[in-house]
Structure formats: C-alpha cells, structure tokens
C-alpha cells in the first residue's frame, strides 16, 4: 500500500471512530500524518479522558498499545481494544532504530501522569518516531540557552529516568517562572546519599515553545531520551558555576536558621552573624550575602528553628544565586547544613538532607569518641594562639564539652583511633569545614552511615574574613 493510500485510510478510520473532532488538541494533526507515535497517542488519549470523552480516549489508548499498558500497569481497556482491533496501526511493526525506550517514554509523559497535575500534553516538538526532537527543538529554544549570562529558573536533579526522573521533569514542565531554561541534571548516588560534587551533568532543558502554553524539551543524554542528543554547550559551565553559589547561599541560610534557634530572633545585621569572637557564627562574609541577608531577614521570609519552609524564602537574591534547586536537590531549600561523623569509616560529612556536599577523612578515638547528637557551640581560629599546635589552625567545640573538631600536629593519626576522643582533621579539610558550618550546626556521631569515598572539591570553599576570631582569654584543653 502506498503512503498516500495509507494516510487516506488512517484519516477515514479516525473520522469514523471519533467523528466529533471540532476540538483542537495538541498532537492531533501530528498523529494524522505520522504512523508510529504511540507516545503521542497515549498523551492525546489522556487529554480526551480528562475531558470526559471516553470513546475518543479509548480509541487513542488502543493505538498506544504497550505504552498505555506500561504507564497504567493494566491492559488496554476492552472498549479500546475493540476499537482498534481492525486498525492497521495496531498491527505488529518492525522496531525502528532509535525508537525511545519505555524509560524514555516515562519522561515524555511526566506532565500527564504526575498526581495532582492536569492531564495536558507538555507541547514539545516530537519527531517522526514519537520522541522529543533535539534538532527540531533547537530553533524554538529561547535566547537564554545561547546567552552566556542566562538566568536559569530551576535546576532539578534526578538519578533514574523511570523513577525520580519522571517526577523531576514533570515539575519542570509545569513550572510558571519568568526565567528559563529550566534544567534537568544527573544526580549521582553515593550509597544512600546524593553525591553533590559529582552530580550536575545536564540531561535536558525546558524552554517556552513558539505557541502559547507549550514547551520545548531539549535533550543532552541519549540514555535518558533514546534519541540523538543535542550539545549541552554552556549549560555545563553554567551548572558548574552555580554550585559554589548555592553552597554560599546555603551557608548563609544555615547560619540564620541556627541563630534564630539560639536567640529566638532574627539577626539584625550581618555583623551579628560574622562579627568578631564570640559573634563569629559565620567565618566570613561575601558581597552577594548582603543582598540575600536583606531578603532572608524580612518578617515574611519564614526562616525558623525547624529549618526552611519549603520554597517560601527561595529563591532570593539576583543572578545565578536566584536559581532554585529541586528534585534530588530539594532538601537544599528545606534543610540547613549538618555534620555526620562515621566512627567505623573515619569520615566526617557535611550534608543537607540526603545531599552529601563533602566527605572528609578524620582521626578519632575509638570508644573514647562519644556517640550521639551534639552541636557546635563555639568556633575559634588559632586556638591557644597557635596555628600549628596540637589543635591546629581551627577548633569547634561540641556542646560546651571538652570534645571538639580541630586540627592536629600529627597528620599520620588521620584514619586511625589515636585521639582522646576528639575529631581530628587535616588542615585544608578543617579550614574548609570551618567556613562551611555556622555555630549551632547539628553534629551526629554514629557507627557507620557514611560512604568510604572521600569527596572534596579541587577548589575549596572559602569565606573572606575581616573579623578577629581568636580568643586569647581562654586556654583550650580539648581532649586531643
């Protein structure tokens, strides 16, 4: 049968089965001109189903076949099977090269299937095989993708296309934000943790389409789309540059949360957070923090003892600091920084929820190191006036006890149980940790729980400091 006769037959069958087609729904024109688009048939069926037009929906579900069964976890409805039983479209076909996998199809239908969302097709361009077309989508991208100074509205991390990837992309497709694109990135797992430093490879970007209410999904990883991906280009650099800004923002938020928990009020000025000892709750201050501080300390900001109330105070600031983390990184908008110590693996991690930002080697004291929950109650530079003494260049007291996180003049003791109970750290690791965590930070010491893999960035986090954080009035006698 010629292609022209096949198209005429398909048109007739469609009109015979669903004659009332005055409504204009996405994918309809496309489906009348392309043969093998089961994903699009499924999306169109969901639209009709949402409108209460079951006959049309069932007809479309019959054409969707295994796609319908994969998403709905049930067989095609009997009415739908009957409607499509005679159709040449439902006959077995040779699998075309490059056709998307079920996992890729899950991502395509995310906006339709997520609970609580309207059953509406996302409206991205689809190629002749029912997959997102990276090349066709290039022309519809906004200038934001090609602009070095683009402001991304959201960066959502996901680890698996068939699981959290479906939810993360669905969230991007349903966002109503002024800044675009919205970026989906790869979340790398490290045991039960999300590996912050190794995550962030761009997978897809969502930008407005040419027609109102539509979106373009541009893909950058063939394992996620089952297609020929585009070039992520500047998005790789953009995400890399955004992550240190996110750390800086999270340090400030954590400091405000801990300050309010301790004093029952918001800090009045930046100096209340980053002043001289004992007001050195933070180790320093940056210029962007001044603007962020003003927004975070507004009465309506909602920063409280229990952490951050979702995105009620997020985003804030300008530029790349305003981009919202989501997906596997959502806890960065909800949970202040904490410290976890693993006495089995001799590791100390900085975490926010299940996101592991750092994982350092430490020296411990075996059974002399107490298990339990503590908090950092004091931070001091050059304890006892020395940067190379038994406590090193920094010290952080745990819950007003003789236990502390500090440096050491015996670097060979790292990864061993040779201390009297304190947590020893290498100089560079300690100084980065000191800048990352404010006073009041929760510290959990437990047997196990952290991966053995060390995670430190090639360029360490540092805060510019102009305050005097020494304390010459006290002689420290921590248990070394």
Find tokens 């750290």 and name the residue. Answer: 425
Residues 6+ apart with CB under 8 A from 412: none
**Residue 281 · residue 252 · CB < 8 Å:** no
Q: What does DSSP assign to residue 447?
A: S
First-residue to last-residue Cα distance in the chain? 85
Kind of pairing, strands 338-342 and 394-398?
unpaired
Q: Which of 60, 225, 227, 422 is catalytic?
A: 422
* Helix/strand/coil for 353: coil
What sections of 233-282 are H helices per DSSP?
234-263
Answer yes or no: 225 catalytic: no
Residues 6+ apart with CB under 8 A from 426: 360, 361, 407, 411, 414
Q: Which of 281, 345, 346, 406 is catalytic?
A: 406
Ramachandran category for residue 453: left, alpha or beta (phi over 0 → left; psi -120 to 50 → alpha)? beta
**Residue 159 · residue 328 · CB < 8 Å:** yes
What sections of 121-163 are H helices per DSSP?
134-138
For residue 185, which of 167, 170, 204, 160 has the smallest C-alpha distance? 204
Find tokens 């109102």 and name the residue. Answer: 212
Structural tokens at position 351: 């975490």
Answer yes or no: 422 catalytic: yes
CA torsion through residues 337, 338, 340, 341, sign: positive
* Helix/strand/coil for 37: coil
Structural tokens at position 159: 């680890």
Provide DSSP, 364-380: B-GGGSPPEEEEEEEEE
Query: How far apart, in whole angstroms, are the C-alpha atoms of residue 315 and residue 161?
Result: 26
Residues listed for the chain: 480
Compute φ and ψ for 325, nearest 5 degrees.
Answer: -80, 145
Q: Would you name the residues annotated as active-site residues?
A: 406, 422
């Amino acid at each position: 049968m010629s292609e022209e006769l096949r198209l005429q037959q398909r048109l007739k069958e469609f009109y015979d089965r669903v004659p009332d087609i005055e409504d204009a729904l996405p994918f309809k024109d496309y489906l009348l001109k392309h043969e093998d688009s089961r994903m699009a048939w499924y999306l169109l069926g969901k639209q009709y189903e949402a409108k209460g037009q079951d006959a049309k929906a069932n007809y479309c579900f019959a054409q969707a076949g295994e796609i319908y069964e994969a998403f709905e976890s049930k067989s095609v409805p009997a009415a739908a099977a009957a409607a499509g039983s005679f159709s040449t479209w439902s006959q077995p076909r040779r699998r075309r090269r490059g056709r998307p996998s079920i996992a890729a199809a899950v991502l395509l239908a995310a906006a339709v299937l997520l609970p609580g969302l309207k059953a509406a097709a996302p409206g991205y361009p689809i190629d002749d095989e029912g997959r997102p077309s990276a090349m066709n989508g290039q022309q519809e991208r906004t200038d934001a993708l090609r602009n070095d100074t683009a402001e991304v509205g959201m960066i959502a991390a996901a680890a698996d296309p068939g699981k959290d990837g479906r939810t993360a992309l669905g969230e991007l497709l349903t966002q109503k934000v002024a800044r675009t694109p919205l970026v989906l990135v790869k979340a790398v797992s490290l045991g039960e943790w999300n590996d912050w430093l190794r995550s962030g490879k761009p997978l897809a970007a969502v930008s407005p389409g040419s027609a109102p209410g539509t979106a373009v999904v541009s893909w950058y990883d063939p394992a996620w789309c089952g297609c020929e991906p585009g070039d992520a280009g500047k998005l790789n650099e953009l995400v890399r540059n955004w992550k240190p800004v996110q750390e800086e923002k999270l340090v400030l938020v954590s400091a405000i949360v801990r300050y309010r928990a301790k004093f029952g009020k918001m800090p009045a000025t930046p100096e209340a957070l980053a002043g001289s000892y004992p007001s050195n709750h933070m180790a320093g201050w940056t210029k962007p923090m001044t603007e962020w501080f003003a927004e975070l300390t507004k009465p309506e900001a909602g920063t409280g003892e229990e952490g951050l109330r979702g995105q009620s105070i997020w985003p804030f600031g300008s530029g790349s600091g305003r981009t919202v983390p989501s997906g596997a990184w959502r806890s960065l908008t909800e949970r202040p920084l904490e410290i976890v110590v693993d006495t089995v693996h001799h590791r100390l991690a900085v975490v926010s929820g299940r996101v592991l930002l750092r994982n350092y080697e430490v020296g411990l004291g075996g059974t002399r190191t107490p298990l339990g929950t503590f908090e950092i109650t004091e931070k001091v530079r050059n304890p006892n006036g020395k940067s190379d003494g038994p406590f090193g260049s920094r010290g952080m007291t745990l819950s007003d006890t003789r236990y502390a996180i500090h440096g050491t003049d015996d670097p060979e003791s790292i990864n061993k149980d040779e201390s009297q109970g304190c947590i020893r750290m290498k100089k560079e690791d300690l100084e980065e940790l000191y800048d990352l965590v404010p006073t009041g930070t929760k510290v959990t010491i437990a047997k196990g729980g952290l991966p053995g893999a060390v995670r430190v960035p090639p360029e360490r986090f540092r805060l510019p400091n102009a305050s005097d954080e020494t304390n010459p009035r006290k002689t420290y006698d921590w248990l070394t």
